[in-house]
Structure 1
Amino acid sequence: MDGRLSGGENVTLDFRHHPAVTLAEVAEAAGVGESTVSRVLRDHGSFSKKTRDRVMEAVERLGYVPNRIAGTLASAGSRLVAFVIPSLSNIVFPDVLRGASTVLEENQHQAVFSVTDYDPEREEALVAAMLAWRPTAVMLAGFEHSERTLKMLRASGCRVVELLDLDGTALDLAVGYSNRAAGRASAEFLLKRGYRRIGYVGHDLDRDTRAGKRFAGLSEALGAAGAPLADREIYAGGSSVESGRLGLERLLARRRDLDAVYFSNDDMALGGYFHCLAHGISVPSQLAIFGYNGLDIGRVTPQPLSTIRTPRVATGRIAAELVVTNAPPQVVDLGFELVEGATA
């Protein structure tokens, strides 16, 4: 195709697809057999420094990229670890991946991931696709999966790790904390501070089952204390700062008498906090704000966010350690930390 540089010079850009360089081509260029190239690239077996240098020079010159997945599948045991996660827009799941990736890399395991957007049918399709690669483990968020997903996981022969929740029955390994307990702890904190007219702003509770469990724990604790939830505003889409701002605006339009609002996570809570700043609502004297997750940004706002801090990086790290050590089935409760902050 034709193109033009910024200086006006006409150039021709060739975007034609070229076939991938093969192991056989590297072997021919280096003057050795394919098995020798394979040994050098895997750094396994016997070969001289001179042979290694010739192979690596050919690899560099030809731009060859080894097919690690093919190599993994051909080996005696797969080293792929598949993550099927709900979202990448929420920092929670990148934090989990960050915690796991270091351990997996140190133990020569390869992480691959896919995103469900909190859709059970999409999770089912992605689990099927991942299992086709015969991974050594599959890691998923929570315990709620379709019947077909559960059936595939049970029949897969690989390790299954369910993350970020303990309110359910684990298939194999589970690492996380109780979301219901986090909701109850949040309610107890607000009640202890003297708040009685408490509202809720959150996102889709049916799709995000862990948020639904926190909401249930919050509602149960408030009801038991004789101060049932005053009102709630549920945003139909995903959680975000913007949806938290809009959610609080709508909630306060109905219930101006609220003295505290619990948000499904810190993203939503920060949106609510920004709404208060923009409309001259004093926090927490006029309205208390409470979140969930303990995101770093919540610590550096003008008033640090009151929230629950969850051990996301540790969740990923410990989950990966259980996989690489082939630990027996177990449930690991990492707990959570209530951060008093300054908004409640």
Structure 2
Amino acid sequence: MTRKDFPSLRLSDIAAAAGVGESTVSRVLRNSGSVSEETRARVRQVVAALGYVPNRIAGTLAAAGSRVVGIVVPSLTNIVFPDLLRGAAGQLDLMGYQAVIGVSDYDGAREAELVASMLAWRPAAVMITGLEHERATPDRLRSSGARVVEMLDVDGEGLDIVVGYSNRAAAEASARHLIGRGYRRIGYVGHEISRDTRAGKRLAGFEAELARHGLALVARELHAGPSSIGAGRDGLERLLARAPALDAVYFSNDDMAIGGYFHCVARGIAIPERLALFGFNGLDVARLAPQPLATILTPRVEIGREAARLALADEPAATVDLGFILIEGATA
């Protein structure tokens, strides 16, 4: 028995080859219902031998309730969002649901298009990043009947379920840490805060905390595109050319901060004796650097996992703040 024996492989072929009914094969593939371990193993062996791939779309349309959950993230180049998806997809798989993923590139119009496309699948839920969306997006989501979960931010009003942390509070804690270490001439290097609203909230929270201590940013450098190590390196070089007396720099995230770290190493700028660096996200590359970066560790995988669980739970609308951890590191 090989795949060539079945030119158009169907569920009924798997059932016949395994000597069971189609409903039994369906329960095994969905990992649900009562099936003996012996039968389950036999069905899986046939599935593997024949290379059968279930038609998830057909299954969704035929089922009484959708087994699809739509997820929209702004990027896949920053490890933050693959971490988020890893937590979400793992939880959805355990619950027998299939994730459909879209990437908006921090473009509100693109996010709206992706949401509209996903809603055409009649998903059980939609998981989306952030709390700020183009006007059409909340309207579509509210009228769809699908459960909605917004992730990675709790600073604002959500549509339904919100799971994340306070970007403003994280930035305020970062500012207090630098001030507590004696830094007063502080600058900022960041990326496009007009599109990445969470980075914008962090900048606002950081500046507000400085103001409460009678301080202000000495200078800032904003990169017009998305965050990257290269943008952080170049941004710090430009910032120091304008404000060479800075004693600390706050970065919009760890990607940018690691770029700044590389610039300091290349130019012989002593860290933190000459210049302190502070990031955001707690990425592995930042924590494993020769001098671990001072940063904020965010629970991305846990947020994805909890967001997926709540997306399919029969629970009222709520905001779940999973918090953050300040990592002192060795750069500030």
Report the counterpart of residue 102 of structure 1 in structure 2. Answer: 90
Cα distance in structure 1, aligned partners of 2:169 and 2:18: 64
Report the counterpart of residue 256 of structure 2 in structure 1. Answer: 268
Count how many residue pairs are aligned between Structure 1 and Structure 2.
Answer: 324
2:132 maps to 1:132: no
Cα distance in structure 2, aligned partners of 1:136 and 1:324: 7
Offset at residue 335 of structure 1 (A): 1.0
Q: CA RMSD, aligned part only?
A: 2.6
Deviations 1:152-206 (A, max 9, x none): 0000101100000011101000001111111111111111111111100010000
Q: Please say which of residues 220-229 and 285-294 is displaced more in the overlay.
A: 220-229
1:232-251 mapped onto 2 (5 Å cutoff): 232-251=220-239
Q: Please say which of residues 326-335 and 199-208 is displaced more in the overlay.
A: 326-335
Q: Give 1:37's aligned amino acid.
A: E
2:8 maps to 1:21: yes
1:21 touches 1:62 (CA, 8 Å); kept in 2?
A: no
Structure 1 spans left out of the alignment, 5+ residues: 1-19
1:196-211 mapped onto 2 (5 Å cutoff): 196-211=184-199
Match of residue 222, structure 1, among 204, 210, 213: 210
Identity %: 60
Report the counterpart of residue 341 of structure 1 in structure 2. Answer: 329
Distance change (3 Å), C-alpha of 1:108 and 1:251: same
SS of aligned partner of 1:140: strand
Q: Normalized against structure 1, the TM-score is what? A: 0.87
Report the counterpart of residue 294 of structure 2 in structure 1. Answer: 306
Offset at residue 50 of structure 1 (A): 12
SS of aligned partner of 1:262: strand
Offset at residue 24 of structure 1 (A): 7.7
Deviations 1:61-107 (A, max 9, x none): 76442202210231111121111000111111111111122221111
Distance change (3 Å), C-alpha of 1:271 and 1:46: closer
Cα distance in structure 2, aligned partners of 1:52 and 1:263: 52
Cα distance in structure 1, aligned partners of 2:83 and 2:158: 22
1:200 touches 1:263 (CA, 8 Å); kept in 2?
A: yes
Cα distance in structure 2, aligned partners of 1:281 and 1:149: 46
Offset at residue 56 of structure 1 (A): 7.3
Cα distance in structure 2, aligned partners of 1:305 and 1:204: 22
Runs of 4+ aligned residues of structure 1 deviating over 6 Å after TM superposition are 44-58
Report the counterpart of residue 155 of structure 2 in structure 1. Answer: 167
Cα distance in structure 2, aligned partners of 1:231 and 1:314: 35
2:108 maps to 1:115: no
Offset at residue 49 of structure 1 (A): 11
1:100 touches 1:317 (CA, 8 Å); kept in 2?
A: yes
2:71 touches 2:126 (CA, 8 Å); kept in 1?
A: yes
Cα distance in structure 2, aligned partners of 1:308 and 1:53: 45
Q: Give 1:195's aligned amino acid.
A: Y
Offset at residue 58 of structure 1 (A): 7.4
Higher RCO (CA-CA < 8 Å; seq separation 6+): 2
Cα distance in structure 1, aligned partners of 2:38 and 2:88: 37
Offset at residue 22 of structure 1 (A): 4.8
Offset at residue 133 of structure 1 (A): 0.6
Offset at residue 209 of structure 1 (A): 0.3
Q: Give 2:10's aligned amino acid.
A: L
1:45-194 mapped onto 2 (5 Å cutoff): 63-194=51-182
Deviations 1:136-161 (A, max 9, x none): 11111111001101100000101100
Cα distance in structure 2, aligned partners of 1:330 and 1:49: 39
Cα distance in structure 1, aligned partners of 2:177 and 2:9: 62
Cα distance in structure 2, aligned partners of 1:336 and 1:54: 46
Q: Normalized against structure 2, the TM-score is what? A: 0.90
